[in-house]
Amino acid sequence: MKVARNIIPSLGQETRPFAWKDKIGYAFGDLSNCWLLGLVNTFITIYYVTVLGIDGVWVGSLLFGAKIFDAFVDLFVGKLADMAKLTPEGRFRPWIRKAKWFFCAIVIVMFLPFIHTLPMTWRMVFAFITYVGYDIGYSTMIVPYGSMIAAITSDPVEHTSLSTSRSVGSAISGGLTGFFIPMVVYSTVNGQQVASAMNFFFVAIVCAGLAFAGYNVTYKLTTERVQVEPKENITFAQMLSGIGKNRALLILIIADVFIVVNQILAGTANTFLFTTYFENKSALAIALLFTYGTVAVLAPFAKWLTARFGKKETSIAALFFSAALYVVMDLAHFTNPWVYLVFMFVATAGAGIFNLMVWAFIADTADYHQIVTGRREDGTIYGLNSFSRKIGQAIAGLIGGSMLTMIGYIASTTGGAKQTTQVVNRIYDLANLLPAVILASAGIILLFYPLNRKKSEEMAKEIEKINANES
């Protein structure tokens, strides 16, 4: 196994060895990301529909269009990151230092408390502009951050520790936002749960402040040790040609789209499920905690599962199991929210296992890319994966807003609209059958992923030989 050097070859600088500081610093990166993502990705549809009173179909179209546009920004940022000039502070860390200002600020602006008093046209314009700004801010942060894992160290074992640290960091802040935000933004008016514009604004300020502080920790504690000047200026046509040869990446991207769609729709559907069907805000807080909490619970077992069965094999089995359990939950039609939560915790494990391993999947596809193209393009590979996730988020926004309208949900600026029994039951079906179909589809797609355990082990040896010959 090749150990990461403590010399930056192109700059001639000596750096400290890889240590716990890098793991903590990298964990704080996604800890910070998910303070903001936990607020926006889970609650923005609820905010637009129930606070701003925007029609669900329009909200779905807005989210879809904005995400499609921003998905291409990810590719652009990934390319810029790969071609960025090497500096003493690294290639990717400067992005984090600069991008944090706009990213944190735009999240606060999205939830300005007086917007719901404006005419509907201006509410819609404001929602579109700020949401596009949010997506651009996220791209300039997440693509360099995700690509930085390969620059911190070249040791694959240390890659795994960084990936685990990232997953734990995201689970902590994602779980806390899911648990506490519903308790803060909702209040009871005439016996119904009503979202407050001012409370959303205060929550946005707190989340942005925590994220800003966390990004500073990431910048201070991480060190980029592996810095290599690009061998050539890769044209766009060459990039597309290389991507087309990377079958592992293309299949992973498709599967990842389904997983992201499920993750976002689960947060949205569960919010309506527990506030409208179960009418239990406390259970909602725990349900949103499960979405991230299962990742933290499964983290200690990820390495063993990968070594024993393989990433592909483990993920497929988990996804099919979860899909089947969601069907059982729908047929049971639980009326007790606490019984439902027990089944839900187990069901979320399928997507949780995949989310825990996805960064390792991406690392494998980057190695595969080097084998089939002869080029190392970590920023581009990560940018393309982020591109796919944005497409998934766009699809989720389109489905989330449109499905609410299709099942007959009545939008309201005060949250006081009374839903019919038929609509309430449809919300229950939506919260269970949608993830069942999506997770099963992702499992089927992964059946065609070429890198099983045996192939991955063979590829790792080949990469080691390639890097040894080039050093």
- pLDDT beyond 50 at 9: no
Q: What is the CATH number of the domain that holds 144?
A: 1.20.1250.20
What is the span of the domain harbouring residue 282? 18-224+240-470
Position 458 in a domain: yes
- Residues 264 and 61: their CA atoms lie apart, in Å, by 16
Residue 286 vs residue 192, higher pLDDT? 286
In a domain, 191, yes or no: yes
User: What percent of the chain shows pLDDT beyond 70?
Assistant: 87
Reference 465, options 2, 113, 156, 49; nearest CA is: 2
Residue 36 within a domain = yes
**Dihedral (CA of 382, 384, 389, 393) sign:** positive
Q: How many domains does the chain have?
A: 1
Q: What is the mean pLDDT of residues 263-267?
A: 80
Q: Which is more confidently placed, 316 or 57?
A: 316
pLDDT digits (tens, 9 = 90+) for 363-415: 788 778 878 887 777 778 888 887 888 777 777 767 776 777 888 887 665 55
Query: How would residue 3 be classed by pLDDT, with cut points 50, 70 and 90?
Result: very low
Answer yes or no: is 235 within a domain: no
How remote is the C-alpha of 435 from its chain's centroid?
Answer: 16
Residue 4 belongs to some domain of the structure: no
Domain-located, residue 3:
no
pLDDT of residue 412: 62
98-118 CB burial, b ≥16 within 10 A, e <16: ebbeebbebbbbbbeeebbee
Tally the C-alpha atoms within 13 A of residue 185's C-alpha that lie toward its C-beta.
31
Q: Would 63 be classed as within a structural domain? A: yes
Q: Is position 8 within any domain? A: no
